[in-house]
Amino acid sequence: MLEKTLSIIKPDAVKAGYSGKIIAILEENGFEIKAMKKIKLTKKQAEGFYIVHKDRPFYDSLTTFMSSGSIIVMVLEKENAIADYRELMGATDPSNAKPGTIRALYAKNIEENAVHGSDSKESTDFEIPYFFSALEIL
């Protein structure tokens, strides 16, 4: 099924200059970029995005990190995009990520792990409109 998913290049990877390389990997793997923008979240906006993690011990640290610098937010489209992009990202902790995945290549640690990707259809239904209006998506 043709699906859309939300991708974020996180502040660590943008700062390190990996954005172009990550976007190239996405395109090489058949993901079409349907919308894209570079923005900087406020702490409150990062907290809103990660609200599902509000009771986790790393919530404050994660949302401080996610509002610490520019990010690149994209809507990607492909057959089976949600699961395929999760596979291409690799495990949350880069020390467990399969060789060749984006996190194996570019993540610094379990928090500063280069990229975000929606984990389900329910997540995309929340995450895509969090950043993009229908008019901004091709």
Which chain residues interact with ligand GDP by CB under 6 A? 58, 61-62, 92, 110-111, 113, 116, 119
E strands present in the chain: 2-9, 32-39, 71-79, 115-117
Q: Rounded CA gap, 127 and 31, in Å?
A: 18
Catalytic residue of the set 66, 114, 116, 132 = 116
Min dist CB 11 to ligand GDP, Å, is 10
Q: How many other C-beta atoms are found inside a 10 Å radius of the C-beta of residue 10?
A: 26
Cβ proximity to ligand GDP, 58 vs 130, nearer residue: 58
CB of 49 to ligand GDP, least distance (A): 10
| 20: Cα separation from own chain's centroid | 14
| Element spanning 101, H or E | none
Pick from 100, 118, 130: which is nearest to 3 by CA?
Answer: 118
Query: Between residues 19 and 113, which has the closer beta carbon with respect to ligand GDP?
Result: 113
To the query of whether residue 116 is one of the catalytic residues in this protein, the response is: yes
Nearer to ligand GDP, 6 or 35 (CB): 6
Catalytic residues: 116
